[in-house]
Amino acid sequence: WMKEVRLPCSSVGEPAPTIKWTKDSEDSAIPVTADSQRQILSNGTLVLRSVKAEDSGYYTCTATNTLGFDTIIVNLVVQVPPD
């Protein structure tokens, strides 16, 4: 809670794959974009700063190139201390 979390997503391929992160909502996957709270590193790792309860959920990393794609799903559970 309120800490930085790193979700790794390593990929290899020729041509080099592009990495996209999404967060699953109830009926769709929302693209994760870089902002003051989120960063996608060059190695594919998603960095979430100052995580809160609402950051909990399923995050999907998709690596894609001209030959295909692969995905990994990470379930992030943020536990918050009681008031």
Give domain status of residue 81, yes or no.
no
Give pTM, 2 decimals.
0.91
Percentage of residues of the chain with pLDDT beyond 90: 88
Spatial contact of 14 and 45, defined as CB atoms under 8 Å apart: no
The tokens describing 63, both together, are: 């690596």
The tokens describing 70, both together, are: 């692969």
Q: Taking Cα atoms as reference points, which of 7, 5, 3 lies closest to residue 44?
A: 7
Give domain status of residue 83, yes or no.
no
Give domain status of residue 36, yes or no.
yes
- The H-assigned helical ranges of 15-81 are none
Q: Show Cβ contacts of residue 67 under 8 Å, excluding neighbours closer than 6 positions.
A: 13
Q: Taking 90 as the threshold, does the pLDDT of residue 12 lie above it?
A: yes
Q: What is the pLDDT of residues 25-43, one digit of tens each?
A: 888 999 999 999 999 999 9
**CATH code for position 42:** 2.60.40.10
What per-residue confidence (pLDDT) applies to 58?
A: 97
Give domain status of residue 58, yes or no.
yes
The tokens describing 49, both together, are: 């700063």
Which residues constitute the domain of residue 32?
Answer: 5-76
The number of distinct structural domains making up the chain is 1
